[in-house]
A and B are shown apart, each in its own frame.
Chain A
């Protein structure tokens, strides 16, 4: 069995050895790092735009390019965070806390070395978790029926709303708005065009990719053009080679942050930014050098970088096992897999087991390529970082148009992208988090198919949705998440727990 697995891994790695493939890996990683480093361009936007470019490639090449973009963008964000004190992506906002103070102390190179080693180890840790947990979770998911899958979809929306930061109530609203938008167009049983109002374009449904490109591409162009121009503060750069002592000294922090990042990645819709902040907070709590946090703490930077990078493979685990994306870029990655005729979910390990090994190989190769660029791509990147947004944003919008149009060649998809661009912008301004909206769009089919199937099987009884063990647990967690998001209920639960714990010793 072990030999068989090793042989499968060997075969998977061998597929990525050709000249054309290596060329693709290197340009994609470079582009990913640049996208991540440029403020205003995010990993989600990068993966969404490149899905179009890779449309005609064989699936191994296409997904490899997209994973390189994803891994590279999350890592690249820390370059500008350290060197310019501007987070390139929301995920790297945490890295500015200690990265930039280190740069101000003349240790920019060391900070980037820490970022490189932390990020490299984080992705490696997360990839090991993919190897360990994906087969187990897939096996478990095979026992799920419609009732469980319905709750997984609802749980995804609710947990993304609760944990994606800010107002949980607005997170739920965004999630259900996404679910409703997913119902526009012909439904699966009678091909009845819902909410089409006579339009054949609307009857065809809202394309996931144009919606994603609009929400994360055009909306970000509008936000960048509205915001004041970021003032870059560059720093002198010392040696960028990671120090082994920095890794060995903080191995506990690396392991802890890796575990936190991967776990947060597995939770539906919760992205790398939450992973970075949670890892940072946990590292600060456990540190013996708490006072250094925020003033150039190596441990703090290491925790943030490891956490956010471990989240990337973590977010891919639920894609492979449940067809539920763990983060916004993973949602786009999942859409790209579907475009390439790969059906993520519990059947993936049965129908296309090779793909699991290929994904692991892709993550490892992307991680190694990232390490390579970590050593060399510092000074040239500084010049790219200083490109004014006035020259960058129109190019991004052109790519948004191409990205929306290319998959189905419908001009209507360009209008969908523009609509979602404005919708995404307005909702962000009204403090609605975006991951639940995207998750709603992605999970709409899963929720509807399993709700109706479950009701048909049970002849309309809702009991199986609550009394089956896993369904019951998922329903309870979902309900608890909603209740927990109400401050008054949270206070009441906390007070009750405090009272119960105080009473317990007295009773003993």
Chain B
């Protein structure tokens, strides 16, 4: 995408760029809570010692171990974030602004997915739910304010075609050809 092919773009993996220490501290707190909760719930489980005369087969042994390790690792993360200046540092100063990323688009996509998976499926035939979801998804993201009516109609038609095509193709390929059950 760059016009200067002679200089290779730095190819850092997404998780190679560290989070601000303050956020890491919050993450550590959340994981510590989870680890402690796992230990707490594990301790309330029965041991069934009377059945096999064994304590090592008790249902809580392994999850409690995982919970303890998660708690220990989160303490390590917390201490590390404190050493890196988690307290006293303003979080807003260090968050990297990523150009072109949109939380609105994310929220809209997440909401559409939730409505489809939790609301439409099971309340109507799968093919109909799929047509509605795909068409609405495309329309929502391709709609722009001030579009010519002709262009809008064209986009709506494409959305409907892709939606109908997906609904029909998924049913035909999965249910009829490969005998896979659909929701």
A interface residues with partner B (beta carbon < 8 Å): 52-57, 85-86, 90, 93-94, 96-97, 100-101, 104-105, 165-167, 169-170, 172-173, 176-177, 179-180, 183, 187, 189-190, 192, 194-195, 218, 221-222, 225-231, 233, 273, 277, 294-296, 388, 390-391, 393-395, 397-399, 401-402, 405-406, 409, 411, 414-415, 417-418, 421-422, 428, 430-433, 447-448, 451-452, 455-456, 460
Contacts and interface: CB of A to CB of B under 8 A. Distances in A.
Contact of A53 (B6, B74, B173): B173
14 contacts: A55-B178, A56-B179, A56-B180, A101-B5, A173-B77, A189-B59, A194-B45, A221-B113, A226-B103, A227-B100, A231-B1, A233-B1, A398-B170, A452-B57
Contacts of A190: 48, 51, 57, 59
Contacts of A183: 62-63, 66
Contacts of B15: 165-167, 170, 428, 431-433
Contacts of A456: 54, 56-57
B128 interface: no
Contacts of B80: 169
9 smallest CB-CB distances across A and B, nearest first, come from A228-B100, A166-B15, A294-B8, A225-B109, A394-B137, A455-B56, A226-B106, A390-B141, A101-B5
Looking at A192, A391, A422, A452, which has the most chain B CB atoms within 10 Å of its CB? A391
A101 B7 CA distance: 9
Secondary structure dominating the interface of A: helix
A226 B101 contact: yes
Given A390-B137, A395-B166, 19 more contacts: A52-B174, A53-B178, A165-B15, A166-B16, A169-B80, A173-B70, A173-B77, A177-B31, A189-B59, A221-B109, A222-B106, A227-B101, A391-B159, A394-B163, A398-B116, A398-B170, A399-B170, A402-B170, A431-B18
B153 interface: no
B58 to A, nearest CB: 8
Contacts of A393: 109, 137
Contact of A167 (B7, B18, B59, B63): B18
A394 B159 CA distance: 11
- Counting chain A CB atoms within 10 Å of each CB, the highest count among B27, B102, B117, B182 belongs to B117
Interface residues of B, number: 85
A41 to B, nearest CB: 15
Interface in B160-183: 162-163, 166, 170, 173-174, 178-183
A451 B56 CA distance: 9
A57 B14 contact: no
A230 B1 CA distance: 9
Given A222-B110, A228-B99, A409 B181 contact: yes
Most-contacted residue by chain B among A187, A227, A452, A455 (CB, 10 A) = A187
Given A390-B141, A398-B166, A431-B18, A421 B48 contact: no
B97 interface: no
B13 A90 contact: yes
Contacts of B147: none
B96 to A, nearest CB: 12
A296 B130 CA distance: 44
B76 A273 contact: no
Contacts of B159: 391
B90 interface: no
A397 B113 contact: yes
B158 interface: yes
A345 to B, nearest CB: 20
Nearest to B7: A294
Given A54-B178, A418-B114, A96 B48 contact: no
Contacts of B174: 52-53, 402, 406
Contacts of A229: 100
Contacts of A192: 45-46, 48, 59
Interface in B24-70: 27, 31, 34, 38, 41-42, 45-46, 48, 51-52, 54-57, 59-63, 65-67, 69-70
Nearest to B134: A394
A173 B74 contact: yes
B82 interface: no
Interface string B77-117: 10010000000000000000001111101101110111011
Contacts of B118: 415, 418
A399 B48 CA distance: 43
A401 B106 CA distance: 19
Which of A225, A228, A451: most chain B CB closer than 10 A? A225
Nearest to A192: B59
A187 B163 CA distance: 43
A448 B63 CA distance: 9
A431 B19 contact: yes
Nearest to B133: A394
Contacts of B57: 189-190, 452, 456
B23 interface: yes
A169 B16 contact: no
Contacts of B61: 451-452, 455
A93 B14 CA distance: 12
A415 B122 CA distance: 13
A188 to B, nearest CB: 9
A79 B67 CA distance: 44
A405 B134 contact: no
B117 A418 contact: yes
Nearest to A226: B106
A227 B61 CA distance: 42
B10 to A, nearest CB: 10
A187 B124 CA distance: 36
Nearest to A233: B1
Given A96-B11, A431-B15, A390 B142 contact: yes
Given A55-B178, A406-B174, A395 B162 contact: yes
